[in-house]
Structure 1
């Protein structure tokens, strides 16, 4: 993945931080043992997060990534609401299996991340608004559970849904997704995602 990314993580003290980590690193790999034992299909482990934006050029933050991250006018915790809608899949490596997130609770934080990180706008302007509309149609906010190149059929998705429920995560039962589990606010990481997945570590961190 070229450039760097801004991620939104659950607060470290939030139960979902450990629940999602266990799903990603232990529970879900154990459901698909043939893949986990394959040298070519072995699962990739990563910190649970929702990507706010990616493809940020290192020239944007230069030698002061923390100062740059601190300068972004993110909305306060009271205006950032990550809510899980359902489990789904796409035939894309980084979205092999993921939790869809309700758009309305994260639209503002995604917008300012994109504006400052990629579009060169101090505030959310026309370029960023156009991108957000495109992004909602093509990708939408999500929290990945599994990366990989092997397609997920309906049976596999149902097994993941069951594992998510057994872990204590309640998905939305309404059309707008407002009643699903999730978290408010969180921690933003700036991560050089042009490195191998195993080396994805933050170079700047900020709590909302």
Structure 2
């Protein structure tokens, strides 16, 4: 298992039907995997955020809300078909449509909360730099975040965390039957998803049951 540092999650509205369906599915699939964990439904926007104070937690959450509210029609998440992978955190998951709005939000979060703090800490004195020097760093950080979003970011909603691999065909059939029972036949083409929701800043270090929610914002 890999420590993810502190991660920013985008979650369905608390106690909404889709929240309940996803949470029930995560819990219901645990018996299929002997090492599976329970966790809240979410899309990770970025990991490796460094926060040490409540003020930093508030900054991240407030900035994320401000970015999401720039979408005038509301922030829409679209889920599609179930996928299977080899990694612990992407064993069984629902793919999320990489809409321009979602990719833009992930890029902003990666830039503002990961790459910019790194660049500022590596600079000898960022605030004392000339405007031209700061602009050069800002441009490099923006380009790095755009490249990460283009080449590495893969939005999804995990349903199972597990080291077991591969997922056997019989287990796949069981999983897909349960998903259809929960979400309905053809759920992957029926517009499954949610609008707006909640940001959660979560310290993802150590065992999953020891992860700590540092703060949340509904939007």
Q: Classify the TM-score, shorter chain.
A: 0.7 to 0.9
**CA RMSD, aligned part only?**
2.3
Pair member with larger Rg: 2
Partner in structure 2 of residue 172 of structure 1: 188
Mean CA deviation greater in 104-113 or 123-132: 123-132
Q: Which has the higher helix share?
A: 2
From 58, 61, 70, the counterpart of 1:69:
61
Change (3 A) 1:68 1:29: closer
- Counterpart check, 1:23 vs 2:42: no
**TM-score by structure 2 length?**
0.77
From 127, 138, 143, the counterpart of 1:126:
143
Partner in structure 1 of residue 86 of structure 2: 91
**Residue pairs, 1:12-51, within 5 angstroms:** 12-25=14-27, 27-30=28-31, 32=32, 35=33, 41-51=34-44
Matched-pair contact (CA < 8 Å) for 2:60–2:113:
no
Q: CA offset at residue 42 of structure 1?
A: 3.2
- Counterpart check, 1:54 vs 2:47: yes
**Structure 2 CA distance for aligned equivalents of residues 84 and 158 of structure 1:** 19
Partner in structure 1 of residue 122 of structure 2: none
**Structure 2 CA distance for aligned equivalents of residues 127 and 67 of structure 1:** 22
Secondary structure of 2:194's aligned partner: strand
**Structure 2 CA distance for aligned equivalents of residues 81 and 103 of structure 1:** 11
Extract structure 1 runs of 4+ deviating beyond 6 A: 121-124
**Structure 2 CA distance for aligned equivalents of residues 154 and 101 of structure 1:** 23
The count of residues paired between Structure 1 and Structure 2 equals: 189
Deviations 1:75-114 (A, max 9, x none): 2263422111110111000001000000015212212221
The structure with higher relative contact order (CA 8 Å, sep 6+) is: 2
Partner in structure 1 of residue 11 of structure 2: 9
Q: CA offset at residue 19 of structure 1?
A: 1.0
**TM-score by structure 1 length?**
0.81
**Structure 1 CA distance for aligned equivalents of residues 159 and 4 of structure 2:** 21
Q: CA offset at residue 185 of structure 1?
A: 1.0
- Contiguous gaps of at least 5 residues in structure 1: 36-40, 174-178
Mean CA deviation greater in 48-57 or 119-128: 119-128
